[in-house]
């Protein structure tokens, strides 16, 4: 179960990315775990909750799991850091859940799919390049340090993409849309960088270079 440390190390090497546990430029260490999001905390409704994969799927069909189905998918663990663009970082959480690789394997995208939009409750969304979504450290987390997520932190499922700023990981995820072209998500439309690499301090959309995001 889970990802070996070797595999994690190799994934890091291949991206030439700093080790977990390091602080990106302009970030400070946070003790404890603040709650940060836009809008109200959604109530979990187990009977109607679904995790859907749709858009440019290989078969053209939509895939969906109910909560029980999602919780019985193969599980993985990743230890990683969370970097909020408001400058706090939380280092060294052990996230448990379903890796994005598992979702990609069970609900494969069409070959033309280049980006994903991850959708959460109340229409919150964030867009990712396929390679960032598919990264070996990207995980749909249900647990942190062995405990189920609290509702404020995204119960039942949040995305964690440790090599990007934390807004790229929606809490209360309900679906993934495979896309054949890039489109901006919620914060990416509202002044935040389309890619959001904390090591390059890609905080705001005005910093985007040509080709890093769709027209604003
Ligand atoms: N659905 C949703 N997910 C979200 C956000 C949000 O506004 N809505 N904010 C993001 C931001 S900016 C951060 S820093 C993290 C914060 O996660 P936390 O509240 O568990 O610390 O959630 C991310 N996920
Ligand atoms: Mo954030």
Mean pLDDT, to the nearest integer, of 111-119? 98
Measured from the CA of 153, which atom of ligand 1 is nearest? Answer: 20
Pairing label, strands 50-55, 63-66: antiparallel
Residues having CB within 6 Å of any atom of ligand 1: 33-38, 84, 120, 124, 153, 166-167, 169-172
Best mutation site among 43, 166, 185, 203 for ligand 1, i.e. most ligand atoms within 8 A of its Cβ? 166
> What is the largest distance, in Å, between two alpha-carbon atoms of the chain?
45
- 213 located within any domain: no
- The 10 Å Cβ neighbour count of residue 108 is 15
Question: Which listed ligand is nearest to 167 at the C-alpha?
Answer: 1
CA of residue 125 to ligand 2 center, whole Å: 13
- 63 located within any domain: yes
Mean pLDDT, to the nearest integer, of 93-118? 98
Residue 78 is part of a domain; what is its CATH number? 3.90.420.10
Domain containing 120: what range?
24-32+45-207
- 8 located within any domain: no
- 16 located within any domain: no
pLDDT range class, residue 118, cuts 50, 70, 90: very high
**Residue of 21 and 196 predicted with greater confidence:** 196
| Closest C-alpha to ligand 1, atom 12 | 167
Residues 11-48: tens digit of each pLDDT: 444 455 677 789 999 999 998 899 999 999 999 999 99
CA of residue 176 to ligand 2 center, whole Å: 20
Measured from the CA of 172, which atom of ligand 1 is nearest? Answer: 1
Residue 7 clears pLDDT 60, i.e. is over it = no
Residue 59 clears pLDDT 80, i.e. is over it = yes
- 197 located within any domain: yes
- 12 located within any domain: no
| Closest C-alpha to ligand 1, atom 7 | 37
Q: What is the mean pLDDT of the chain?
A: 93
- 212 located within any domain: no
3-state SS, one letter per residue, for 25-49: CCCEECCCCCCCCCCCCCCCCCCCC
Share above pLDDT 90 across residues of the chain, in percent, rounded to a whole number: 88
Structural domain tally of the chain?
Answer: 1
- 189 located within any domain: yes
Best mutation site among 36, 124, 125, 144 for ligand 1, i.e. most ligand atoms within 8 A of its Cβ? 36
| Closest C-alpha to ligand 1, atom 23 | 167
| Closest C-alpha to ligand 1, atom 6 | 37
What b/e string do you get for 73-101 counting C-beta neighbours within 10 Å, with b at 16 or more?
A: bebbbbbbbbbbbeebbbbebebbbbbbb
């Amino acid at each position: 179960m889970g990802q070996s440390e070797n595999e994690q190390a190799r994934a890091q090497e291949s991206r030439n990315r700093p080790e977990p546990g390091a602080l990106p430029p302009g970030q400070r260490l946070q003790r404890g775990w603040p709650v940060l999001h836009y809008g109200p905390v959604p109530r979990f409704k187990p009977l109607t909750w679904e995790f859907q994969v749709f858009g440019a799927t290989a078969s053209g069909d939509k895939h969906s799991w109910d909560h029980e189905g999602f919780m019985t998918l193969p599980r993985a663990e990743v230890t990683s850091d969370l970097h909020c663009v408001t400058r706090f970082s939380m280092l060294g959480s052990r996230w448990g859940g379903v890796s994005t690789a598992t979702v990609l394997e069970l609900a494969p995208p069409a070959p033309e799919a280049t980006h994903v939009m991850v959708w959460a409750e109340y229409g919150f969304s964030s867009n990712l390049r396929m390679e960032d979504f598919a990264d070996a450290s990207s995980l749909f987390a249900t647990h942190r340090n062995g405990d189920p997520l609290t509702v404020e932190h995204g119960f039942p499922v949040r995305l964690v993409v440790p090599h990007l700023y934390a807004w790229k990981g929606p809490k209360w995820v309900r679906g993934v849309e495979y896309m054949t072209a890039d489109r901006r998500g919620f914060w990416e439309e509202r002044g935040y960088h389309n890619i959001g690499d904390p090591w390059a301090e890609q905080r705001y959309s005005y910093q985007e270079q040509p080709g890093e995001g769709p027209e604003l």
